[in-house]
Amino acid sequence: MQYNSVCHSRNIILYLNLIIMKPESLMMSYGYKPELSAGAVKSPIFLTSTFAFQSAEEGKAFFEIAYGFRTPEQGEELGFIYSRLNNPKLSILEERLTVWDGAEEAAVLESGMAAISTVLLEFLSPGDLLLTSGPLYGGSYYFINKVLPKFGISVVDFRVGQTKEQLREIVKNSGKADRLSMIYIETPANPTNDLIDIEMGREVAEYFSTGEKQIYVVVDNTYMGPVWQQPLKHGADLVLYSATKYIGGHSDVIAGACLGSGELLARVKKLRTFLGNMASPHTCWLLMRSLETLKARMDIQAANANKVAEFLLNHPNVERVYFPGTLNEADGMQYLIRQKQCLTNGGMISFDVKGGEKEAFQFLNALKLIKLAVSLGSTESLAEHPATMTHVDIESPYKEQLRITEKLVRISIGIENHEDIISDMKQALESVG
């Protein structure tokens, strides 16, 4: 019983802490009571597959709640049963992760794709219609457009800049407006930094929702979250993360997360139990360690990104920079969404090198400090070529229409000294042509 209460910290003291303290102050302790783990300052890893019940009655009660046969009574918590269902490390991490987004519940899974695919499978049924923004992360694009249709799910998409009236038209023109079940948004979009208005997604969802059917708005917040953008506050029902990126932040772990209301997360966690794609205690340990420095890392990354973008804007071998910080009033809606939704300009910059694939590759091959690798959000700066790497699966000419062209390079800004990042990019840009 002792460890059951280790994780479930929904008690007055922690709630009060949450009200008066900033999330970064809670990342070392929230959801964990040292006195229940021999005084260990850091929560131990429980490498156990199964947990002993104190009585058969207790085991029965745990299963009733885990399988949703009854709702927990006041103060009753889900006891530990088996590590595919829950584990102390997983529960503490999930509790802690809710702080940033102000979510009721979180589920942590073994990859971002595990979080995304589990949510799509849980909330879509054969015959349903899914509306997505474009572009999407390559893996999400593949799952949505190549795997979901095998289960009888139709997909339509919209582009940056389209209005809610246009979104309604897209849904109506599909002929399946009555089967719309989810609006899936990625903002800022990987790799173009296009911004999508989450509130607009909510309005379209409400327009098509009926008394019997609620249409869910799901947002992949990997590019800005959880520190710089909190989609639940703008009308999203569920937030998704590749925790491999900023949350993990050290390029040493693959993980994913989903956050939202207790009601929706109960469904996500139930399917996770049967897909068996929960995060392992070891993954949770790495993520908890990372959460302690999340704000500090992301602050440096955002500050560095602003300086790098400024450098790129003024470089003769750079044709165009895609970065929220370069938006101004002349950019209309994109600028307004930036002001409304994002707390910083983020740490991701894409830009067009003057020329094409040859010049983009010359730049990438000449980098010395910045690693030529996919992934993002880590302490070290990374550079890649979306058209032939992360987004290679997207068909032409759709790919080019999304501005994922041969000259596009994507940079994830790390925590190195900004002068070193800039001088590396400067020498690499000079080698172009």
Ligand X SMILES: *Cc1c(COP(=O)(O)O)cnc(C)c1O
Note the residues at the interface with ligand X (CB under 6 A): 111-113, 137, 139-140, 186, 190, 220, 222-223, 242, 244-245, 254, 256, 376
> Which element (helix H / strand E) includes 208?
helix 198-208
One-letter amino acid at 388 equals T
Structure tokens at 380: 């070290």
Please confirm whether the linkage preceding 191 is cis (ω < 30° from 0).
yes
Structure tokens at 85: 């269902």
Cβ distance to ligand X smaller for residue 79 or 188:
188
Cβ distance to ligand X smaller for residue 315 or 385:
385
Pairwise CA distance, residues 227 & 334, whole Å:
20
Cβ distance to ligand X smaller for residue 137 or 361:
137
Least distance (Å) between residue 138 CB and ligand X: 8
Angle ∠(24,25,29) on CA atoms, nearest 5: 110
Least distance (Å) between residue 363 CB and ligand X: 21
Residue 186: exposure state from Cβ atoms within 10 A (0-12, 13-18, ≥19): buried
- Give DSSP secondary structure letters for 378-424: SSS-EEE-TTTTTTTTSPTTHHHHTT--TTEEEEE--SS-HHHHHHH
Cβ distance to ligand X smaller for residue 23 or 256:
256
Cβ distance to ligand X smaller for residue 245 or 315:
245
Least distance (Å) between residue 128 CB and ligand X: 21
Pairwise CA distance, residues 424 & 417, whole Å:
11
Cβ distance to ligand X smaller for residue 256 or 324:
256
**Contact indicator for 292, 405 with CB cutoff of 8 Å:** no
In the bound complex, which residue of the shown chain has the CB atom lying closest to ligand X?
A: 112
Cβ distance to ligand X smaller for residue 244 or 251:
244
Cβ distance to ligand X smaller for residue 6 or 288:
288
Pairwise CA distance, residues 271 & 9, whole Å:
24
Pairwise CA distance, residues 420 & 364, whole Å:
16
Q: Is 245 helix (H, G, I), strand (E, B) or coil?
A: coil
> Which element (helix H / strand E) includes 350?
strand 348-353
Cα 318 to Cα 211, 362, 428: the distances in Å are 52, 13, 12
Pairwise CA distance, residues 332 & 342, whole Å:
15
Least distance (Å) between residue 113 CB and ligand X: 4
Structure tokens at 76: 């009753």
Least distance (Å) between residue 143 CB and ligand X: 10
Least distance (Å) between residue 222 CB and ligand X: 4
Least distance (Å) between residue 158 CB and ligand X: 17
User: How, if at all, do strands 154-159 and 238-242 pair?
Assistant: unpaired
Least distance (Å) between residue 341 CB and ligand X: 16
Least distance (Å) between residue 194 CB and ligand X: 12
Least distance (Å) between residue 241 CB and ligand X: 8
Least distance (Å) between residue 149 CB and ligand X: 20
Structure tokens at 99: 């702080």
**Contact indicator for 254, 244 with CB cutoff of 8 Å:** yes
Number of Cβ atoms within 10 Å of the Cβ of 60: 11
Cβ distance to ligand X smaller for residue 245 or 297:
245
Cβ distance to ligand X smaller for residue 230 or 242:
242
User: How, if at all, do strands 216-220 and 238-242 pair?
Assistant: parallel
**Beta-bridge partner residues of 239:** 219, 259
Cβ distance to ligand X smaller for residue 391 or 418:
391
Structure tokens at 290: 């990372």
